[in-house]
Amino acid sequence: MKCKIGIIGLGNVGLGLVRILHNKRKALKGKYGFDFEITAISDPVKGSVYDESGLDLATVLDIIEKEGNLENYPSGIRNLNSMRTIRETNTNLIVEATPTNTRTGEPGLTHIKTALSNKKNVVTTNKGPIALHYQELKKLADENEVYLRFEGTVLSGTPALNLVLESLAGCDVSRIQGIVNGTTNFILTKMEEGKSYEDALAEAQKLGYAETDPTADVEGWDAAVKTVIMADVVMGENINIQDVERIGITGITLDDVKKAKENNHRIKLIAEVEKKDDTVKAKVLPREVPLTHPLANVMGAINALTFTTDHLGDVTIIGPGAGRIETGQALLADILALNRMLHKY
Amino acid sequence: MKCKIGIIGLGNVGLGLVRILHNKRKALKGKYGFDFEITAISDPVKGSVYDESGLDLATVLDIIEKEGNLENYPSGIRNLNSMRTIRETNTNLIVEATPTNTRTGEPGLTHIKTALSNKKNVVTTNKGPIALHYQELKKLADENEVYLRFEGTVLSGTPALNLVLESLAGCDVSRIQGIVNGTTNFILTKMEEGKSYEDALAEAQKLGYAETDPTADVEGWDAAVKTVIMADVVMGENINIQDVERIGITGITLDDVKKAKENNHRIKLIAEVEKKDDTVKAKVLPREVPLTHPLANVMGAINALTFTTDHLGDVTIIGPGAGRIETGQALLADILALNRMLHKY
């Protein structure tokens, strides 16, 4: 069965995936037996196009680069909105890559529910719906005998959820600790180099790591959302963002950073989920980590997670936590996992 | 379909797996839908027993602990040798866990070939057969439409091969660098603490990390075998252990270690496979690694691998590289992966 992909949301991540799939079509077929077409793309701003026989990806990329929208794509059915694209097109896999909303989960939540209810597999990088409604979505996927995968919601393409759920299958995980927000880790790294918090933040903004309003990053909200996802998905718990004890890095001074260093420690914004006596506690806090710990040496915008397990003790993964191609890779890994499952390849 | 497991080789690793499967039977069924029986065990020293309806694992563990062999297991068919166990029992998964031989691959090689030819899935931690004949075994598995998995041949249960082949699927890997031998890393760590090479080796031997004849570890042979597996499996190359440029750690002095440290470096025995212009080069060499590199901070008997990829840059995994339960976990993760594939769970 050929994979017929519908992409909902053609921002950086969706476009990153299209670029990878276009560049690697031959290699993916040869190495993984992965045979696909992108048959539909729908984006509220860039427009929508559906061609049952598959879109020409070179044309899509070219036209988006030159014109910024799909208006002049030369063939296919036009202007199906996202819901009609999910429901009415001949797709068996929906890639949900619309902007995340961590309060309502919309529009991603409705997109994902609709796709699953229509017996279409879903791959997404959208944190909101997973953080808010993982249990419900998982149930919906199971009932409809389709898959829901979302590696990219934590650490972008660096294996985090697939690592713990699949490669570490069989282990009991009692604790997850990590650096899951690149912006704050970049700021703390720059402060260790001697910059003030304000100067480090300004540099992060200049490089595109931090938004003009940096609250979501520096107050720990982004890390807290990822912590909720890990608690729900890995620990089987059902917690909300309000359940996460959360302190950001705005109170950290150059002096704090210097003093920690003198004691052979580094201040890191550590996300933590811990299971003890069947209770799960989730926190995001700045902490002094000893330099001998793998997380202490994760610098700049890089992310990392340490899983404490019964069979292996600590296992740590370190890699990028954001980026267009990096997050596109998360979608690709999930799509190839689906391909393995569906084709027993 | 119930998983009916035959275990060939009941040493530390095979026994580790039996213990895990016994302790976690209920949890594995609940969490992964994994339904199994171990129906056959065959070991040249500890004896052999086969019961189509499944062995009682509590009895197996108890009897092995008390008597060291399966002689008095109270029921079942006795004394089938390994080949008859593979061929003639009602098993659909063979766990090959006999001692490794990196020159001939035997007896594991014949066990694996026989199992695959008889259309039985194989899970193994046996380095020899994989390092010597991966391509041939992979072909045999494909022809017989069964799976061959061997996560435990590199980094024991710490995800290494499954990480790169599955969680990082879709990435091109241009280089793998790592610490894949715990004994030498332990010795180098102790030398940094001020011990001479000889004292550090003696301590490693006392703790059971190093053999009485430590050649395989300290001359880099063990690391070279794992390097061959990574080159063959990840890079799609077909190299031999003779193709690996190899220098061990016996020439490293306390003075070398001290000087490296003064320059903010650490000496590590680094295994490396690099693909450049379609040529694969494999090396195992002591190297000065800058303290800012994730591999520099991997201390003691811990192992690590850094994969350099096109989509993600560097991704590093750090975890244990040996141990009974740790290697049993590698078998378990592979078995659960098979279960996912065969049951579309």
What is the strand order of the sheet A77-78 is part of? A77-78, A47-50, A36-43, A3-8, A93-96, A121-124, A148-149
pLDDT on residue B344: 56
Report the pLDDT value the prediction gives residue A278, as an integer from 0 to 100. Answer: 87
What is the Cα–Cα distance from A175 to B290, expressed in whole angstroms?
Answer: 30
Rounded to an integer, the average pLDDT of A14-24 is 97
Coil, helix or strand for B126? coil
> Per the CB < 8 Å rule, is A318 touching B32?
no
Looking at residue B111, its pLDDT comes to: 98
Tokens of B229: 């597996």
Question: Which pLDDT value is given to residue A344?
Answer: 56
The pLDDT of A186-208, averaged and rounded, is 95
Catalytic positions of B: 226
Q: Quick one: pLDDT at residue B81?
A: 97
pLDDT in tens, A100-146: 999 999 999 999 999 999 999 999 999 999 999 999 999 999 999 99
Distance CA B102, CA A315 (A): 28
Q: Beta partners for A279? A: A276
- Provide the residue type at B104 as one letter: T
Within chain A, strands assigned E span: 3-8, 36-43, 47-50, 77-78, 93-96, 121-124, 148-149, 173-179, 245-246, 265-276, 279-290, 302-309, 313-320
Apex A28 CA angle, A27 and A29, nearest 5: 90
Chain A's closest residue to B160, CA to CA, is: A167
Q: Catalogue all structural domains in chain A, each as residue range(s) with its CATH number.
A: 3-157+325-343 (3.40.50.720), 164-320 (3.30.360.10)
With contacts defined as CB-CB under 8 Å, which chain A residues touch B312? Answer: 156-158, 319-320, 326, 329
Please say if the pLDDT value at position A345 is more than 50.
no
Distance, in Å, from the CA atom of A267 to the CA atom of A265, rounded to the nearest integer, reads 7
- How far apart are the C-alpha atoms of A151 and A163, rounded to whole Å? 9
From chain B, pick out residues whose CB is under 8 angstroms from the CB of A319.
Answer: 312-316
CB contact under 8 A, B332 and A170: yes
Relative to beta strand B36-43, strand B47-50 is: antiparallel
Residues of chain A with C-beta less than 8 angstroms from the C-beta of B317: 315-318
Q: Which residues in chain A have Cβ-Cβ distances shorter than 8 Å to B333?
A: 166-170
Distance CA A184, CA B293 (A): 20
Tell me which of B154, B167, B192, B345 to substitute to probe the interface with A (most A C-beta atoms closer than 10 Å).
B167
Q: Which of A130-134, A235-239, A332-336, B49-53 has the lowest mean pLDDT?
A: A235-239
Please tell me the distance in Å from B8's CA to the nearest CA on chain A: 21
Query: What is the predicted ipTM?
Result: 0.97
| Helical (H) or strand (E) element with B344 | none
Tokens of B64: 């092995």
Mutate to test the interface with B, among A163, A295, A312, A339 (most CBs of B within 10 A): A312
Q: For every one of its 345 residues, what pLDDT tens digit does chain B have, with 9 covering 90 and above?
A: 799 999 999 999 999 999 999 999 999 999 999 999 999 999 999 999 999 999 999 999 999 999 999 999 999 999 899 999 999 999 999 999 999 999 999 999 999 999 999 999 999 999 999 999 999 999 999 999 999 999 999 999 999 999 999 999 999 999 999 999 999 999 999 999 999 999 999 999 999 888 899 999 999 999 999 999 999 999 999 999 999 999 999 999 999 999 999 999 999 999 999 999 889 999 999 999 999 899 999 999 999 999 999 999 999 999 999 999 999 999 999 999 999 988 754
